[in-house]
Structures are given as C-alpha cells and as structure tokens.
Amino acid sequence: MAQAVQKSPAELAEDRLNTMRHSAAHVMAEAVLQLFPDAKLGIGPAIQDGFFYDFQLPRTLVPDDLAEIEERMGEIVKQNAPFGRRELSAQDAVALFEERQQPFKVELIRDLMGGGAERVRDEATGSPDAEGVKGDLVLLYNQNGFEDLCGGPHVARTKEIGAFKLLRIAGAYWRGDEKRPQLQRIYGTAWVSQQELDNHLQRLEDARKRDHRRLGTDLGLFLISDQVGAGLPIWGENGALLRQIVEDFWKAEHRAAGYQYVYSPHIGLIDLWQTSGHLSFYRENMSSPIDVDRQQFMLKPMNCPFHLQVFKRRVRSYRELPLRYNELGQVYRYEPSGTLHGLMRVRGFTQDDSHIFCRPDQLDAEVNGVLDLGLKLWRTLGFQEYLIELSVRDPNNHSKYMGEDERWVQAEAVLQRALEAHNLPFRRAEGEAVFYGPKIDIHLVDALGRKWQCSTIQVDFNLPERFDLTYIGEDGIQHRPFMVHRALLGSLERFFGVLIEHYAGAFPVWLAPVQATVLPIADRHNEYAENVHRQLRDAGIRAELDVRSERVNAKIRDAQLQKTPYMLVVGDREADAGAAAVRLRTGENLGALPVSDVIARIQEEAADRTGQVV
C-alpha cells in the first residue's frame, strides 16, 4: 500500500472527519441493535461527506425509524463513552460473533484467516489506514456494551462525533454481490459543528433541486427506458441539440489544435483485446463475446486499440510526428446495476478521446498543448476551478511499473512542468501512477463546489510496446514513440450530467437548446408571431413558437420552467410596431424592442460564450 510521504493540513482535517464519521457509524449500529436486537451487522465505513452501515433487519425501515435511531444515537453520544479496544485470536473472534449470531462478521473474520486480509480489512472498516489484523489477531472496538470487528481508528470518546444526521435508507447487497442477501443501508452525515452540518444539508437541498435526472426529464434532455435497458441513456430532442452544440465546439477546437478526427467500430476481434491486454486487466468491465461467422468480437471498453491501427497503417517517419487522433468514441463497460445513476454512471457512453503519438523531444509541447486545449474547453463550458492530481511512481518500487526508468523520469517531469507552466496547483500522488505510465487527473469544480473527475492525461509505455509501434528516426533506425491518452471532458454522458447540474438546466445562451420562444397573446396574433419566429430562425437563432390556445401567462410560466433565456411576447401593439415585448428567464422585463434589436442582442450573447451560472 502506498505510504503518504507528508500529509497536508487539508488531508489531516479530512482524516479527522473520516474518523469522526466512521465512529458515528459504530454509534448508529449500537442504536440499531437497541431497536432491533436481532439485527445482523454488515459493514460501516466512512464515505465522502458521511458514513453508512448495512444491516439485515426483521422488517423494512421507514423514514420514522431514522428519527428514532438518530435520537438514540444522541443519547449514546451524550454518555460520552470511550472507544475501547481489544485483540482476540481469529478463532476466538469467530466463536464470539457466532455466539452473538452475527454471521456476516464471522464471514469477514474467516476471510481474514483465509488470507484475504487486506480486502476484508478495508471492507470491514472502510479505512485503508486501519490495522484490522495483526498476525493472527483480530481487532475489536467497543463503546458502551457494543463491540464491533474493526481496525479503527476512532475518536477517543463518543462526544467527539460532532453534529450528525441520518439521511436515507437504501438497499445494498452483502459485499456488493447480487447473489448474496440484500441488506438495508442507512446513510448519515457528520460534521465538526452544527453550522457545518447545516451548510451541508443546504448543499444537499440545492443539489436535489439541480438533480440532472429530474431536469433531464423536465427539459426533455435525456431518458433511460426500461425497454432499452439500464445504464443506456437516450438523448432526447433538447439534450441531443445541446450535445451537438458542444460537440461542434469540441471538434472545431480540436481541428484548430491540429487533431485529426477518426471513427472506429463498436466491436473488435477478441484477439485485438488480447494484444491490448484488456482481456487480462479489464475483463470484468467487458461484456461477453459476440459471435459473428464463428469469430468472436468484443464490445469496446476503450478506443485506444483502434487509434493504434491508424498509426500502424504504414511506416511512420519522425517528420510526421506528432500525430493526434481524436474521436467521440462510444464505449461499453460493465457497471453493477446498483451503481447506475442517471447520466453519471452508465454502461454505454461516449468518451471524448484522443491519442497522441510523438517523439520524446515533443512530449513537453504536446502535454502543454493538451492543457491549453483543456483549459479553453473547461473555461468556455463554465468551469473555472479545478482540483488536480499528478500520479507518479512509487519511488521505492520500480519493479511494479513497465517501461525504462529514463522514460518515466522524463514523462513525470514533463507532466509536472506543464502543470507548473499553466499555474495549476496540484497534488503529487506518489505510487498512484498506473503500471503503464504517469498521469494527470483533473476534477472540475461545479457551482455547488462539488468535484467531478472528468479529465485525464496519461503517458503510456505499455500499448506502444504491445502493438510494437515504431517510427523511423532521423538516424534511420526504428524508435518507440511516446503515446499519450487523454480525455478532456471524460464520458460525455457524465460530463453533461455535471453540466446540467452546474447550470441547474439554465444554460447560457450559446448552449441553450432553445434560445427564444415566441408567445402570441391571442390567436389573432399567431400570424405576426410566426413572422417573428421565422425572422429569428433565419438569423440562426434556435427559436420556438407557442401557438397553444393557452393564456399568455401560462405560456410564459411554461417557457420559464423550460429555462428558455428569451421570451418574446407579441400582441397588437408589438405587431403594429414590428416589435416584441422581451422577458428574460430571470423574470426581468426588457419591455418592447424592435425584433431586429432582439435578434442582435441574442446573437451577441450567443457569440460571447460566457458561461454565467444563473
């Protein structure tokens, strides 16, 4: 396991929160056992922003149960009991938990004895720092009379748990396995102070209002159909339009940056994936083979092997490099059904993928170019703040990584230099590089301050080797090119999920699928409204016309719910003056303006492409 060299104050604060939250999970388990003495305990780790614990219970929990459990937790906390600890031999621990009729704990300890120690330890405690096992000994922690299998760490006494709240109940299979019993998972959150807890609850409420699944339906952006299958989103009219706008922008920027677009099929022969190593390293994310004419094909989980073929199409000279291939490539990866979530976690998605093949002396310029392009895309799409990690080798374990030392040193230095040259602060993560090369991971920070990992830039020493990629150098002999994989938006589906929540569906004018809606006050204004609508369309504005026989106030409300930036209301006066009464989605009234002025205004705003979050 990677050992952190030196923890920053932020990381230490995070550790403290995790310890507190995990301790809250112990207290919750104690409270649940008070209410349901027959409860069977699963696991209870700290997670981002909170904690959970899994239980097998005699009945299904209802929301009122949470209030009751929370109240009992409050009483336990007030007693301010210390967290005690003892060690037992694995045999004694099994006997103890058998006597207490806790079969899941018994299973975890048996696995510990069977050598799956590290995995079980992490599962049991959720804390990778924990020492859940010491030789043959198993660690147990207790507060009041309640004792749990756990590696710690915990707070010293229950009063240190801070302000907490239980949030929701969900189903979860034991150890994530659909063939094992389904347990009830209670989620909670805990913070150092009541104020921080209140802030967090407010953020959750804000996030609920922005939930891309709700907005996706309300705004006609996307749908997920039971008849099609889970994790396979379909882009509705407005969502597809939004996506096209972003794709057009993406493609134009890539062309300008010297990328060449390629297309590749959705399936490839099984041998291709054997050569690429995916069958060995990535099999569990891939579906079963498809038989065509007695040949086996696999749905592609990645685009890389196809882009390699384009490079290998003919002998390459050093003069041709760099070559930058890009593709919005649809890929398919297995995700357990329980983890699927709107557009954020799906089974079929489009990667904004690129592979760059270059000479060693070009790597600096290429990585800098990738960051330039990335920053342009992220900023234009409305993301100004990033959280960045540079994942490098574990300096004490060179054997874990493939490729020559010299290349690693060069590639890590290049990535670091590029981040520094762009004034992008980053965290250096020793030992977190993949075996085939170092990488930069970029999280976009959204309007609610949430971080979403979207972008990645990876140097790869593996695939050029496996596919025997070469170019003829100036010296007339063959050399291995550097290969860079990069995705700037990541999965388009996920990125749009983030984008929808970032803007709460109120997209800036340049992105809005519908930029303006024309609303005639009465049927007799329909003809003039059509005329205005046509003028807008002719000017390249994405406009709609609402000729339903509804009251105009109802039409305005609907357009507002659709988050349409401009509403053009037309009646007698407007028709006489060749004008439209303009309302913005913010509720602001601009009054009657000549139609040509409205057009100019919308065009100007769309051309500006600033991503103001409303």
By CB under 5 A, name the binding residues for Zn ion. 150, 304, 485
Judged by CB, which is closer to Zn ion: 484, or 582? 484
78 is catalytic: no
Smallest distance from Zn ion to CB 125, Å: 5
* 3-state SS class at 503: helix
Smallest distance from Zn ion to CB 580, Å: 49
Pick the catalytic residue: 154, 200, 254, 355? 355
Smallest distance from Zn ion to CB 457, Å: 11
Pick the catalytic residue: 351, 458, 535, 562? 351
Pick the catalytic residue: 439, 502, 555, 583? 439
Judged by CB, which is closer to Zn ion: 304, or 321? 304
Alpha helices for 492-594 (secondary structure H): 492-503, 526-538, 552-561, 572-577
Element (H, E) at 582: strand 579-584
Judged by CB, which is closer to Zn ion: 20, or 419? 20
Judged by CB, which is closer to Zn ion: 217, or 275? 275
Pick the catalytic residue: 353, 441, 460, 546? 353
Judged by CB, which is closer to Zn ion: 87, or 211? 87
Judged by CB, which is closer to Zn ion: 41, or 219? 41
Smallest distance from Zn ion to CB 466, Å: 13
Cβ–Cβ < 8 Å for 406, 428: no
The contacts found for 469-473 with CB under 8 angstroms, 24 or more apart, are 469/308, 469/311, 469/312, 469/357, 470/316, 471/315, 471/316, 471/317, 471/318, 471/320, 471/321, 471/357, 471/359, 472/315, 472/316, 472/317, 472/318, 473/318, 473/359
Judged by CB, which is closer to Zn ion: 469, or 536? 469
Judged by CB, which is closer to Zn ion: 242, or 488? 488
Alpha helices for 211-269 (secondary structure H): 212-218, 237-256
Smallest distance from Zn ion to CB 224, Å: 27
485 is catalytic: yes
Smallest distance from Zn ion to CB 83, Å: 8
Smallest distance from Zn ion to CB 278, Å: 11
Angle between helices 363-380 and 237-256 (to 10 degrees): 150
Beta-carbon contacts of residue 399 (< 8 Å; ≥ 6 apart): none
Cβ–Cβ < 8 Å for 143, 30: yes
551 is catalytic: no
Strand pairing partners for 354?
326, 486
Smallest distance from Zn ion to CB 152, Å: 6
Smallest distance from Zn ion to CB 599, Å: 44
Pick the catalytic residue: 150, 200, 254, 304? 304
Spatial separation of the C-alpha atoms in residues 68 and 406, rounded to whole Å: 61
Residue for token pair 């016309």: 545
Beta strand 316-317 pairing with 471-472: parallel
> Residue 83 has which token pair?
């967290």
Hey, CA dihedral for 129, 344, 503, 372, is it positive or negative?
A: positive
Strand pairing partners for 591?
582
333 is catalytic: yes
In the chain, helix, strand, coil percent, each to 5? 40, 25, 30
304 is catalytic: yes
Does the bond joining 9 to the residue before it have cis omega, within 30 degrees of 0?
Answer: no
- CA 295 from centroid of its chain's CA atoms: 35
Judged by CB, which is closer to Zn ion: 150, or 155? 150
First to last CA, the chain: 44
- CA 235 from centroid of its chain's CA atoms: 19
Smallest distance from Zn ion to CB 25, Å: 7
179 is catalytic: no
Beta strand 427-430 pairing with 386-392: parallel
Residue 372 buriedness (CB in 10 A; 0-12 / 13-18 / 19+): middle
Pick the catalytic residue: 333, 486, 525, 555? 333
353 is catalytic: yes
> Residue 148 has which token pair?
């749990």
Catalytic residue list: 304, 333, 351, 353, 355, 439, 485
